[in-house]
Amino acid sequence: MLARDTYWEGPLSPQKVATQAKAMLFGASARRASVEAIRAEAIRIAVWTQTVTRQSNELSQPAVSTHQVLKVARTLIINADQNEMETPLERELLDDLAEQGDLYAFPGGRWLPAPHRLVPIRDRYYLLAGSLPTHLLPRDVLEMLHLHGSFRAVDATIGNFILPTDGYTPIWQYQPLERWLGPKPPTLHELARKFHTIDGVPVHQQNQELEAYGASMNRPQGLRWQPLHAVNDGQYLLRTAVQFGMREYTRGVIRGHHLVQQSATLRSIDIRRLCYALDNEAHTPTSVNWERDQGKLILRSELPTRERKFLASIGQLQVSQDSYYPRIWMGIAPEFHERVEEMLSQLSVQIVTTPTR
C-alpha cells in the first residue's frame, strides 16, 4: 500500500494551541474551563504525575516539593493559559487546593494528592474533591462536570454515585459535608483575645520586608497591608515572604515605626479569620454586595476557609479573566439565604443589600 502524502498546516495560532491544550487537560469540559480552573488543574496534574505515577525507591519521601509542583504546572499551562505572564502561578493556589481537600500539605513545602471523593451537597449534586486529574474521570462524569474557580462539582445522575449502604461498596468514596467543611471555628472575640495573649521576644534587627495589617483602614483586606513606616505605634499582625512563595505571619509590637517585639510564627491560627477578628475589634468591617433576589454575592476580600468552602457547596463562582477580585458567587438558592447572611454576620461583615425588584 502506498503511503499518502500529508501536510502540516502550521504554525498553529496561539488560540488553536490553547484550545487543544485545554482539551488535553479537561476533555469534554474544556469549553467551560476558566483561567483559574486551568491553573488548579495544572497543579493537580503536577502533583499526581510526580507522586502517584512516579516510580521511586524513596518510599520515605513520597511528597513533592513546591518548586517541583510549580515548575511542572507552569509548563502545562504555558500554552493553555494565554494570560500566564500577566498573572503568574503562585504558591497560594497550592494552599487553596489543600484547604478545599484536593491536596495534602506537609512541613517544608511538600505535597501529596488527596484521595478522590464526593461530597453530597443536595439531591443529585456533589462536589468532587481530591487530586484525580479531570481528564482521567469517566466520560459520563466529564459530561456532567461543573467547573467554578478551583472547585469541581458533578450532577450525580449515574449509578456509580449511589451512596454506600451495608450491602454495597461503591467505586467512589464519600465525605459528609460537615466533615469536609472542617471543625467549627472560634468566634471573632475569642480569636482576637488569643492573638493578643501570644508571647513575643525583643527584636534588635528589623526585617525590612515586613508588612503590618492595618485593621482600621477602610479598604478591602488585601489593601490593608502596609510597610512598618506607614503604621502607628501598636500591636499588629505581621507578614513576610519566605522561600517557595510562602508567607509567614507573626504578632509584633511597633514603636516609632520600628519592630521592638515579635512572636514566633503563627501556625495554628486561620490568618484570614484573624483578619476579620482584627477588623471587628477596630470597628472597621469589610463589606459585601448581596443581591438577595438574584442569589448573588460580590466579595472584594477573601473569606476564611470554612466559609469559602461553604459558598462553593451552594453556589457557582464567576471568575474574571483579568483579576482575582471581585469574587462573584451566583445561583445561591433561597433556602440558603439566611445561612449566608448569618455566616457574614458572624464575620462582622457589612452587608450591602440590593432591593428586591
pLDDT of residue 323: 79
- Identify any residues that bridge with 118 across adjacent strands, giving them in sequence order: 128, 174
pLDDT of residue 30: 65
Q: How many CA atoms lie within 13 A of 112 on its CB side?
A: 11
pLDDT of residue 85: 43
Report whether pLDDT(252) > 90.
Answer: yes
Q: Tell me the average pLDDT across 329-338.
A: 92
Q: Tell me the average pLDDT across 153-181.
A: 69
Highest mean pLDDT (candidates 76-85, 129-138, 220-229):
220-229
Q: Tell me the average pLDDT across 253-262.
A: 94
Q: Are 81 and 33 in contact (CB under 8 A)?
A: no
The larger pLDDT score, comparing residue 18 to residue 198, is at 198
Q: Tell me the average pLDDT across 335-339.
A: 93
pLDDT of residue 232: 94
- How far apart CA 350 and CA 286 sit, in angstroms, is 6
pLDDT of residue 244: 61
Quote the pTM value.
0.75
Cell 508567607 sits on residue: 247
pLDDT of residue 6: 53
Report whether pLDDT(59) > 50.
Answer: no
**Poorest-pLDDT segment among 198-212, 219-233, 248-262, 312-326:** 312-326
Q: Which residues of 245-284 are buried (b: 16+ CB within 10 A; e: fewer)?
A: beeebbbbbbeeeebebbbeebeebbebbbbbbbbbbeeb
- How far apart CA 68 and CA 47 sit, in angstroms, is 9
Q: How many CB atoms lie within 10 A of CB 64?
A: 22
Secondary structure E strands in 33-75: 64-65
Q: Report CA-CA distances (Å) from 334 to 22, 38, 163, 316, 338.
A: 34, 31, 26, 14, 8
Q: Report CA-CA distances (Å) from 327 to 164, 165, 205.
A: 35, 38, 39
The larger pLDDT score, comparing residue 216 to residue 138, is at 216
Give me the sign of the Cα torsion angle 149, 93, 189, 280.
negative
Q: What is the mean pLDDT of the chain?
A: 83
pLDDT of residue 84: 47
The larger pLDDT score, comparing residue 109 to residue 199, is at 199
Report whether pLDDT(353) > 70.
Answer: yes
pLDDT confidence tier of residue 168, bands split at 50, 70 and 90 = very low
